[in-house]
Amino acid sequence: MTLANAQPQALQFDCETGNYHTFCPISCVAWLYQKIEDSFFLVIGTKTCGYFLQNAMGVMIFAEPRYAMAELEEGDISAQLNDYEELKRLCMQIKRDRNPSVIVWIGTCTTEIIKMDLEGMAPKLESEVGIPIVVARANGLDYAFTQGEDTVLASMLIRCPDKAPETDKEDRNAIHKLLNFGRKQEDVKAEASEYVDHPPLILFGSLPDPVVTQLTLELKRQGIKVSGWLPTKRYTELPVIEEGYYAVGVNPFLSRTATTFMRRRKCKLIGAPFPIGPDGTRAWVEKICSVFGIEPQGLEEREQQIWANLEDYLQLIRGKSVFFMGDNLLEISLARFLIRCGMTCPEIGIPYMDKRYQAAELALLEQTCHEMNVPLPRIIEKPDNYNQLQRINELKPDLVITGMAHANPLEARGINTKWSVEFTFAQIHGFSNARDILELVTRPLRRNNNLKDLGWDKLVKEEAKI
């Protein structure tokens, strides 16, 4: 083998210590307030934060959202006003107007800079207002786009009960009897026997309800019972989490929540790849099965069936290259899936890399590259955007997945782009949603093919020169 053809045998990691060029993490409110139906989110920041939320969530203007801004004025920033009294007034108003089961305070960059003691004020105010107040710091100084959800879930995890109250047990028994009323005892026992005897399992990560159902059923097919999800649809239904329970994540940006499971709640974390794409979903289920000593059934056939159904999309991207600039921390999982689809990936930019939490995903990425016989990507943490643009200019990738700030400038230079934020809001988990990922990835490529068919590609190039 010549030196020019030699490829690295292990993943390369670099850190360019650039700024977080990502969407603001307070945008986690957009999906969490819908997921936790009895919650209210109070974002504590400046008018800039309010403008951002209005623009980011303007499409939900008719949904009567359960979030609000506590805007800091110049007097607050110079410490001339009483923060406690003002927050108390707002929380009392929220209780009077909405009466939620929990109020979540979202800290911003401003609360970090002026050192507001949100954690100190919350317990006292909680006792006065009579509603639980959860504090989550989702500032863009310390966290990237999707890590806002991570801080919220980590804070809620601490509030999960460590044992079920006796009244809850009685209620559950009554509901169980009601649901099984009129059914034969044999049918009830048969349903119970579908599950293998294993320790309780908690899944964490905010997903749309249909995807939650899909993943729960995938595990049920293997005889694995999900004891609870974090977050739940209602704060009052947070799962019971005792010492020794098992936990597994569904998203790669939840490293703080994973750490809280292990250190604060003494749970055992299952280090698995993430259920994104048919290959990742199969590996995720197989890892959980292996921890519980279960022989997985039918996963290989299921995966092959999904791949066969994706062939029309695979033909569009096979042999093409994709470059990730880094935005939502889904980059490693998406790159691994696209490499399995037949693409190459010279570089993966990612705002924050927790090698411990993503160890299984990184191992699967490396294995996938070897099996597909493609070069291993270079992984850049906190990429410097100027350097990245130079590398994009040299590599000329077929597709760049990037934040919204760089999409139009790249398009003007004739480079196909896709907004990374779209993958955050799309349903991309599980076997059946792989098609949705490829629908997003291939859209700019299909658009260009259509332009060529119409003869407009030459016109676009001429306009770009002008």
Binding-site residue positions for [4Fe-4S] cluster: 24, 49, 109
Residues 104, 153: Cα–Cα separation, whole Å: 11
Residues 60, 308: Cα–Cα separation, whole Å: 37
Identify residue 267 by its one-letter amino acid code: C
Determine contact, residues 146/424, Cβ cutoff 8 Å: yes
Which residue has tokens 């899936």?
Answer: 337
Q: Are strands 378-381 and 347-350 parallel, antiparallel or unpaired?
A: parallel
DSSP, collapsed to helix, strand or coil, labels residue 420 as coil
Residues 165, 147: Cα–Cα separation, whole Å: 32
Residues 187, 204: Cα–Cα separation, whole Å: 31
Determine contact, residues 25/144, Cβ cutoff 8 Å: yes
Residues 182, 184: Cα–Cα separation, whole Å: 7
Q: Which residues belong to the annotated binding site?
A: 24, 49, 109
Residues 415, 427: Cα–Cα separation, whole Å: 26
Of the candidates 392, 379, 400, the residue with the CA atom closest to the CA atom of residue 444: 400
DSSP, collapsed to helix, strand or coil, labels residue 49 as helix
Neighbours of 132 (CB within 10 A): 17
Where are any strands of DSSP class E within 227-370?
Answer: 228-230, 246-249, 268-269, 322-324, 347-350
Q: Is the peptide bond before 239 cis (omega within 30 degrees of 0)?
A: no
Which residue has tokens 């980011």?
Answer: 56
Give the DSSP letter of residue 344. B
Q: How far is CA 275 from the centre of its chain?
A: 11
Which residue has tokens 């790159």?
Answer: 335
Give the DSSP letter of residue 321. B
